[in-house]
Amino acid sequence: EAGVAQSPRYKIIEKRQSVAFWCNPISGHATLYWYQQILGQGPKLLIQFQNNGVVDDSQLPKDRFSAERLKGVDSTLKIQPAKLEDSAVYLCASSFGGLSNEQFFGPGTRLTVL
Amino acid sequence: AQSVTQLGSHVSVSEGALVLLRCNYSSSVPPYLFWYVQYPNQGLQLLLKYTSAATLVKGINGFEAEFKKSETSFHLTKPSAHMSDAAEYFCAVSVGTNAGKSTFGDGTTLTVKP
C-alpha cells in the first residue's frame, strides 16, 4: 500500500513570494490534514478535510494561507505572500475515518523563507 | 480544549537501559491518546494509541504506555533501549467525535548512547 505522498520535499523562497505544496493521501482515505511543524515544536493542525469539504480551518491564517481538495483526493496548500515565520515543515496526513482513526503522515515539505 | 505536556525536551539513555518518556494531558472529557515517533526528515509514525479499552497499551518496536486517569498521564516506556530508538517522540491527545484532530506536545528527543 502506497503511503502519503508530498511534494516538493524542500523549498526555499524569499519573503513575499508565493509557494504551493501538494499532497496525495492513501487511497480510500476520506480525511486529509495539513499540519505546520515549526522547529522544536509539535505539529499544529492548519486544516482538516472530509472528502472535499472543510471540517476545521480554525487555525489556518486565512489572510495568506489557502487549501483545497477539489475532487476529494489530492490537496494543495498555498501560502501567498510568505513571511519569515512561515519557515517550517508542512506535514500532510490522511486517515480512513472513525472515532479512533489513525493518521498516516507523509514525509513533509521543509519550507525556508529568506 | 485539550492539551499535552511532554516533560523533558531531551532524554538520554544508554543502550539496554530503560526508556521513559513522560506525557501529561489535560482534557475535560475522556481522551484518545497517541504516541508518535519521528525520524530525521521523515513524517510521524504511530507507535501506539489509547482508545478507552485496556489501560496498558502495547505498540510497535517494544514500546508500551499506560493510561493513568488519576494522574492524567500517558508515559511511554521500553524496557531496553536500542540504538535505532534514537528519534523524536510526540504525545498527542484528541477528544470527541473528531478524534482525528489531535493536539500534539512539543516532542522529546531521545538519544541512545552506546
pLDDT in tens, B59-79: 999 999 999 999 999 999 999
pLDDT of residue A76: 97
Compare CB distances from A107 to B43, B90, B92 and report the shortest one's residue: B43
Contacts of B25 (CB under 8 A, 6+ apart): B2, B3, B4, B5, B31, B33, B72, B73, B74, B91, B93
**A10 CA: distance to closest CA in chain B (Å):** 10
User: What's the pLDDT tens digit per position in A1-41?
Assistant: 689 999 999 999 999 999 999 999 999 998 999 999 999 89
A105 contacts in chain B (CB < 8 Å)? 36, 43-45
B60 contacts in chain A (CB < 8 Å)? none
Q: Chain A contact for B104, CB < 8 A?
A: yes
Alpha helices, DSSP H, located in B1-114: none
For range A88-96, the mean pLDDT: 93
Mutate to test the interface with B, among A105, A109, A112 (most CBs of B within 10 A): A105
Nearest C-alpha in B relative to A110 = B41
Q: Is the dihedral of CA A27, A29, A34, A35 positive or negative?
A: negative
Compare CB distances from A106 to B43, B98, B104 and report the shortest one's residue: B43
Residue of B76, B91, B105 lying closest to B13 (CA atoms):
B76
A99 contacts in chain B (CB < 8 Å)? 32, 51, 97, 99
What is the mean pLDDT of each successive set of 10 residues along chain B, which is 114 residues long?
92 97 90 91 89 88 95 96 96 73 92 96
